[in-house]
Structure 1
C-alpha cells in the first residue's frame, strides 16, 4: 500500500418570529448601546422596536416544519451578532465584516449539509473531495483552511486528529443548527490560535413554547435517503431541543471521465460509486434556575461510515496490472468516524445586570480509522490493518462583561485547553511498519476588550489576548474595529486591523511514522504562523431600509507558514515540516440585498481574491479569484415558498492527478471553475403536512473541485414533513 497525501489543506428586514438561538456562551438578555432596547429573554414581544441596520440578511417566510420551529420563541434578530464581541450587540456597531445565517435561511434553501450553506457565503471557498462525506476544507479570504477557527456552542472544534488541525465539515449536517455567524478577518484577539483568518461560530437552536415534534423524510438522486425526527419546546423553567438524523447516499461516482480513460478503466470501475452513512444526534437543554441564573447543556454526536473509490485507487489498480508495484484489484478506501462534542454552561447576571458572566466546561473527542479494502490480483481479500487517529480536547472557560453605561462595556475572560493526539497502525502491508504516536499540549489564555460609542456616531472595540502554549510558546494578539455612522444618511463606514496566529498541530510537531520506503517525522521546533490583517468597507441603506449594499477591501500578510518539506536519499524519502513560507492575500467582498416586495427578496454577493506566495509569486493552491452567488426567495401564495440560487466560482490552481512529469507540483494544474443553478420549493398542505422538493445543479454542469474529484451533476430530491 503506497503512501497517498491529499493536500486539502446580509441582509434585510426584521423578522417578528424567529427561532430561539441563545448563544451558548452569551448572556440571555440584550441591550443595544443605542437608545432602543433590543431584546430580553422575558420580553412579551420580539424585538420590533429596533430599526434594522445595514447588512441584515434577507429571510423569506417558510412553511411546515419551518413554521413550527419559528414558534419556538424569540431569538437574537438577524442583525444582532453574538460572536463579534462575545456578547449580543448590533452588527453595525463594530467594524467586523460578518455574515449571519439563520435557521430559516437554511430551511428555505433546503441546505442539508454545513458544506452546502458555507459554500455560498462571501469570503469563503469550500473544497470537497467528492460527494457527501468527502474531506472538506474551508478557505477564508485566501488563507489556509487550518487558519479558520470553527466553534459549536462555544466549543472549539477544529480537528486535532488531522495533519494540519483544520476543521473538516464533511460529516456535519445542518439539522439542529439555529444560527451561523461568520467573522472575517483576524480574530485571535478574542479567540486565540487558529482564528487568524476568521471564525465560524455555530449555535444549536433553543426550544421554546409548546411541545412540537416533527418527522422529515427525503429521498432522491445518488441513492439518497434521509430521515430526521425531533422535538423542541419548553415547560416552565426548562427548555429542550432534541433532533436525531440519518443521512445515506450510495452510488455517487467521483472520478472524472478523462482520468478513467487515461488509466484504462473498465465498465465496473467507471460505475464503482461512493457510499456514505451518517448518523447524528443534536441536543440542547436549558434550565432557568432563577431570573438571573441559568444552566445549559449542548451535545452533538456524529457517527459516519464512508466508502470511496477515487482517482488514486484507480491509479493503484492501473500500475498493479502493469506490474510496476502492488498486488491490488477492486480497491476502495474505508473511513469510519465517531465524534462527540459536549459543553455545559452556567450564566449569572449580577448587580442589576451590570455584570454578566458565563462559565463553561467543554469536551470533544474523536476517533477516525482509515484503511484500504478490496482484493489482490489473485482474488484474495486485502488484509490491511486500519490506521487510527484519536483526539480529545477539554476546555474550561470564563468571561464576564461589565456594563459601564454611557462609557461602554468591558469584557474580560480566561480559557484553558488540554489537547491530546494519538495515531497508530498495525502490520498493514509489506511497505509499512507498525507505529504509534501519542502527544499532548496545554494552552492557557487571558483576554480583554473595551467597547464603546461616542455620540452615537463613532462606535468601536479594541481587544488584546495572551496565549501561553506548552509546546510552541507564548503569543500576544490584538484587534481594533471602529464603525462610523454618518447621521441621517444610512451610511456606515467600517474598518478593522489586527494580528493573528495559528499554532502547529500535534501531528506536525510529533509525527513518527516509518516504513520501508519513507518516513514522516514531526518537527518539535516549529513556531506558530503569524498574520497582520486589515480591512475597510462601507455599507449603505436606502429605500426605507429595503435596499442594502456594501463592499469591503481586505489585506492579509502571513509569515512563518508551515509547509511540508522532504529529503530523498538512497531511495528513501523523509517528510517533515518547517516554517518556510510567506504569503500575501488581498481582495474585495461586496453584497447587495433588496426587499422588492413583502414576499420577494433578492440577495447577491461577490468575492474577488488575490492570494500568492510572497516568496515565489505563485498563486496559492485552491484559491479561486472570482466567486459570485445570487439567491432569491418568493412566497407567491400563502403556504408556498420558492427559492432559487446561482453560484459561480472561477478556476483555481491545484495538484494535477495526471502529469507529464513525475515530480510533485501543487499548482501545475488548474480546474475550469463551475456554474450551478439550484431550485427549491415547499408547500404547506395543512398544519400537519408539508411537502418539498429541490433540484441541484439544474444544468448538469460537470466540474471538479478539487482536481480529480468530480462533484454531483443534476440531482433531484423530494420528501415530506409531518409536524404537530
Structure 2
C-alpha cells in the first residue's frame, strides 16, 4: 500500500486517550503524509479505539464514521453493503494490507463485507469521495483500508481473547509474533460462531453463522534498504439463510445455506534506485473467492449456485523527492480478473459453467508539494486501459491550507472517476454486453480546527454519477434485451447526484473521551425520459453516532455508543420506507493485573432490532463477556 507501510501512524479523527493530534495518514496519498498536509477527506480508527469499542465485525466500526452507511441482510454473515456518501456498495474499494479486495463473480464485482471480522486488524482508514485517480475504478465512492498488526522485531509476544454471549455466540482470537535480526513475523487466527436469528424477519428458526480465519505477515531485510514483505489472509465462512419457498414464494424460513472461502496473498520487495533518491516497491497480489449455496429441499442436487472469482495484480510504485518542497509518487499496475459461475437445478444438475475474464492496465502519477507558505497541493492523474472499454483517464486535485501554521486546516478537492461494469453485469444470464462504464465527478470543501483537546471538522460534499448501472425489469413492449423469457437485465439506467455535509468532533472533554459525527446526505436518482426524481434506496438523509468513554480509578473503563439512522426508502419500487432507528451499546473493561483484563458489553441496549433491509431480521439485545490477555 505504501513504500513506508511498516512505519507507525496515529489517529486522525477517532481519538483514543492521549493520542497525538498531528498524525500520519497513508491511504489518502498511498504514502505516509501528515494529516494537516492532506487535502482529501479521511477518518482513521486506530488500534486503541478498535480495542476499546469491543466490536467483532468491521462494518460495525465503519458505521460510526462520517458519511458511511451500512446495511445487512439479517444477522451476522448476511450480505453486508458499505456505502460512502450515498454511493453504491460496489463503488467502495476495500484494501487489506495493501491488497485490493474484490470478487469479480458477484453482481457488481464489489466486496461483500459480511465475513470481514476485526480479528488481527490494528488500524482502519476511511477515505471518502471519488478517488479513482489514485486507487482506480472501484473507488468512486471511497476507499476502506485495513491493516493487520505489523511484525515487530525483537522479543516474542502473544495476545489473545475469548468471549461468549447471547444467541449462542462465541469468539476466540489469538496472535503471536516476534523476530530476530533482519527477520520479523506475525501469525494470527480467530473463530466466530453464533446461532443467529432468522434471516426472514417473520421467520421462527435461527440462521446460524460460523467463520474461521487466519493471517500472517513476514518481513526480511535482505540488504540495506531492501526489504521482502510477505502477507496472507484466509477465511472460511458458513451461513444459513432464508428464501422464497413454494407455493407462496414469499420470503420465509428455508433450510438454505452457503459457504464462502476467501484467500489473498501478497509478495513484494522494496528497494532504492538512483543512489537512494528513488524508493521503489514491486509487488504481486492474488485474491481468490469461492462461494457455494445449497438447498437441501431441492430435488436431484442440493447445490444451487457456485462461483469462483480470482484477481491477480502486478504493481509497481515509486517515490522521489524532487525538491525539498515537492514529492512525486508514481506507479504502474496490471490486473487480470476471472469469473466462473454456474446455477445447478433439478432439470440441469451439472450445467456448463460460464467463464469470463478481463484485464486492465494502469499508470498513475501524483505530485504533492507546497506552492506557498502553509499550503499543500496534491495533483494526481491516472490512465486505465481496459480490455473491453479502451482508455479512460481520471484526475484529482486536493488542497490543504493551514493559515499561519495554526490550529485550523482548510481543505478542498475535486476528482473524476470511472468504473467498468462487472463481469457478472456483462455476461451472466442477466448480462448486457452493451453496457458502458460509469463516470463520476465529485468535490468537497472542509474545515478542521483543533480547539484545546477537541478536534472539530465540517465538510460539504457533492458527487454526480453518469451511466450508473442498475437492473431493468422486463415489462414487454418489444425490448430486444428481454428475449428468451428473461426477467430483466443490467443497463446504464441511472444518473445519480449526492450532496451533503459531514460534521465530526473527537478528543477529550471534562475527563471523557468522545467521538461524535453527524452526516446529512441527499442521494437522488435523477429523472430521465420523463420520470420524476426520487431518493435512492437505503440512504438515510440523516445519520449520527456518538461514543463516550472514561477510565475510572483502578483502570476500569466504561463506554457508551449511540448510533442513529433516519428514515429511508426500502427499494426503488414503492415499498414501505425503512423506519428511523436509534441503537445503544454499553461496555466495560477492568484489568485483572498487568496482562489480563475482563470485559463485557450489551449490544442494542433498547432491543431495537433495527431493520436495515426490508424483511430481514436483526439480533436485537444481546450481552457478551470475555477475557483478554497480552504477553
Q: Give the TM-score band, short-chain normalised.
A: over 0.9
Residue 369 (1) aligns with residue 292 (2) = yes
Task: Give the corresponding residue for 2:618.
Answer: 711
| Distance apart, 1:532 and its partner CA | 0.5
In the TM superposition, residue 185 of structure 1 has moved relative to its aligned partner by 1.0
Is contact 1:60-1:600 (8 Å) kept?
Answer: no
* 1:602 alignment partner in structure 2: 514
* C-alpha spacing 1:363/1:596, structure 2 compared with 1 (3 Å): same
TM-score, length-normalised on structure 1? 0.82
* Residue 486 (structure 2) pairs with residue 573 (structure 1): yes
Alignment correspondent of 1:225: 170
For residue 535 of structure 2, give the secondary structure of its aligned residue in structure 1. Answer: coil
Task: Decide which of 215, 225, 242 is 2:160's aligned counterpart.
Answer: 215
Matches within 5 A, 1:105-120: 105-120=49-64
Within 5 A, what are the aligned runs for 1:506-585?
A: 506-512=423-429, 520=430, 522-543=431-452, 546-568=453-475, 572-585=485-498
CA contact (8 A) 2:261 2:290 kept: yes
Do 1:26 and 1:82's aligned partners in 2 also have CA atoms closer than 8 Å? no
Q: How does 1:58-77 map to 2 (within 5 A)?
A: 58-60=15-17
Alignment check: 8 A CA contact 1:81 1:89 kept? yes
Q: 1:320-339 to 2 correspondence within 5 Å?
A: 331-339=254-262
- Consecutive unaligned residues in structure 2, runs of 5 or more: 477-482
Residue by residue over 1:462-514, the C-alpha shift from the partner in whole angstroms, topping out at 9 and shown as x without a partner, is 010000011222210000000111115411110000101111000111113xx
| Match in the other structure for 2:570 | 654
Tell me the equivalent position of 2:422: 505
Q: Report how far residue 352 of structure 1 moved.
A: 6.2
Tell me which residue corresponds to 2:215: 282
1:264 corresponds in structure 2 to: none
The answer to whether residue 228 in structure 2 is matched with residue 298 in structure 1 is: no
CA 1:607–1:254: 2 relative to 1, 3 Å: same
Is the contact between residue 341 and residue 355 of structure 2 (CA under 8 Å) also seen in structure 1?
yes
**1:478 maps to which residue?**
395
In structure 2, C-alpha distance between the alignment counterparts of 1:583 and 1:331, rounded to whole Å? 36
2:561 to 625, 645, 651: 645
Distance 1:333 1:456, change over 3 A: farther
SS at 2:295 equivalent? strand
Aligned partner of 1:57 in structure 2 is 14
Alignment CA distance shift 1:60-1:253 (3 Å): farther
Which of 583, 591, 594 in structure 2 is aligned with 1:684? 591
- The aligned counterpart of 2:479 is none
1:601-656, Cα deviation, whole Å (9 max, x unpaired): 1110100000111123110011000001001221112432222111011111013x
In the alignment, the residues of structure 1 paired with residue 553 and residue 613 of structure 2 have an alpha-carbon distance, to the nearest angstrom, of: 41
Q: Structure 1: how far apart are the matches of 2:239 and 2:499?
A: 37
More deviation in 563-572 or 485-494?
563-572
- Whether 1:98 aligns to 2:34 is no
2:292–2:303 Cα contact (<8 Å) kept: no
Give the C-alpha shift of residue 212 in structure 1.
1.4
1:65-122 residue CA offsets vs partner (Å, 9 max, x unmatched)? xxxxxxxxxxx99821111111111112121010011121111100111111111111
Residue 590 (structure 1) shift: 0.6
- Counterpart Cα distance in 2 of 1:345 and 1:493: 36
Closer, same or farther in 2 for the Cα pair 1:566/1:239, shift >3 Å?
Answer: same
2:198 touches 2:253 (CA, 8 Å); kept in 1?
no
**What is the CA-CA distance between 1:563 and the residue it aligns to?**
1.4
| TM-score, structure 2 normalization | 0.93
Tell me by how many angstroms 1:156 deviates: 1.3
Distance in 1 of aligned mates of 2:211 and 2:519: 32
- 2:68: which partner in 1? 124
Count of residues paired in the alignment: 620
- Check conservation: 1:282, 1:299, Cα contact below 8 A: yes
Q: Does 1:625 align with 2:569?
A: no
Shift in CA distance, 565/457, structure 1 to aligned 2, threshold 3 Å: same
- Structure 1 range deviating more: 347-356 or 168-177: 347-356
SS of match in other structure, 2:48: helix
Q: CA RMSD in A?
A: 2.4
* 8 Å Cα contact 1:27/1:347 also seen in 2: no
Question: Following superposition of structure 1 onto structure 2, how do residues 424-435 of structure 1 map, counting pairs within 5 Å?
Answer: 424-426=342-344, 428-430=345-347, 434-435=351-352
